[in-house]
């Protein structure tokens, strides 16, 4: 019995002695984890009344935990989903909350309001709903009236994936006076027309009364039709653009074409990343941090 007690005493002494050498590391880890958890943002799911849609407008909003100082405001990022997606996609599939929590806790981006609206369209006034009108006439005014957000282009940003990248590109080029930067992830900015395997060919936004793809609407809405007016306004919107190199819709080609056009016009305000991957959430989740850092680096 005495031998057993002696053995246990020696074992405990040895264990405590060696654990003590790791104590500073454990404390540092605990403090870092506590800091990260204390700065976790809040997610709000809601709807607003939309005069443009004549229907409820669904929203998911990430609200940062960090408190504002007197008279300060949050920059705001409008983050758009893809074709047939919803306002919940970036949270459920894109790891938005954890990414935003981490980037804000580390100081890589400032405390930022991230607004993820839902749309039945491709972020344009399509055949099924006036999504563009709803975005500018209902959504932005609601956000800026309801939250302490920046109300100038220097603190307002737009981004999206696939059809949302198409939408972010359209919005930034058509309304450069409203946005300080844009990020288009795997943007479906096909020129001249979407490939036959693109969901655009079966999306209600582009289907006319005879259920045929409306080529004229596509040409009228895509970025080449907005180009001359964008140049005339002489307002530079910095762009971050990316694509997976194995994208099945050949978006690496179309993203590069968009980048080349922007780079020729604004060589110091356009970035392109071709990464390993397809047209999927692996690409968008992995590149979201870089896109957010790019956008918020333009915040003034």
Q: For residue range 89-133, what is the model confidence (pLDDT) as tens digits?
A: 999 999 999 999 999 999 999 999 999 999 999 999 999 999 999
- Retrieve residue 87's tokens: 């306002």
DSSP SS3 for 196: coil
* Res 10: pLDDT: 55
- Can you say how many angstroms the Cα of residue 152 is from the centroid of all Cα atoms in its chain? 19
Q: For residue range 256-268, what is the model confidence (pLDDT) as tens digits?
A: 999 999 999 999 9
pLDDT tier, 8 (very low <50, low <70, confident <90, very high otherwise): very low
Residues 20, 15: Cα–Cα separation, whole Å: 9
- Retrieve residue 137's tokens: 């006439």
Positive or negative torsion for Cα 192, 198, 203, 209: positive
Domains of the chain: 41-297 (3.40.50.1820)
Residues 81, 167: Cα–Cα separation, whole Å: 9
DSSP SS3 for 62: strand
Residues 268, 270: Cα–Cα separation, whole Å: 6
- Retrieve residue 67's tokens: 């408190």
């Amino acid at each position: 019995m005495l031998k057993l007690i002696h053995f246990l005493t020696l074992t405990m002494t040895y264990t405590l002695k060696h654990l003590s050498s790791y104590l500073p590391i454990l404390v540092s880890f605990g403090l870092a984890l506590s800091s990260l958890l204390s700065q976790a943002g809040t997610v709000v799911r809601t709807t607003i009344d939309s005069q443009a849609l004549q229907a409820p407008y669904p929203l998911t909003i990430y609200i940062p935990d960090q408190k504002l100082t007197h008279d300060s405001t949050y920059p705001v990022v409008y983050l758009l989903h893809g074709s047939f997606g919803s306002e919940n996609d970036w949270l459920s599939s894109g790891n938005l909350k954890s990414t935003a929590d981490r980037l804000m806790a580390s100081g890589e981006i400032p405390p930022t309001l991230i607004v993820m609206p839902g749309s039945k369209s491709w972020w344009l006034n399509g055949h099924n709903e006036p999504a563009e009108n709803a975005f500018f006439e209902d959504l932005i005014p609601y956000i800026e009236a309801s939250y302490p957000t920046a109300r100038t282009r220097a603190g307002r940003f737009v981004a999206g994936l696939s059809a949302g990248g198409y939408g972010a590109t359209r919005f930034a080029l058509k309304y450069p006076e409203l946005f300080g930067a844009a990020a288009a992830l795997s943007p479906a900015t096909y020129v001249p027309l979407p490939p036959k395997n693109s969901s655009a060919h079966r999306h209600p936004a582009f289907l006319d009364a005879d259920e045929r793809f409306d080529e004229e609407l596509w040409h009228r809405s895509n970025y080449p039709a907005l180009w001359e007016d964008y140049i005339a306004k002489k307002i530079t919107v910095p762009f971050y653009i990316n694509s997976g190199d194995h994208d099945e819709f050949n978006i690496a080609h179309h993203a590069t074409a968009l980048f080349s056009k922007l780079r020729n016009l604004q060589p110091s305000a356009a970035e392109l990343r071709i990464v390993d991957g397809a047209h999927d959430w692996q690409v968008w989740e992995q590149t979201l941090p870089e896109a957010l850092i790019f956008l918020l680096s333009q915040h003034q």
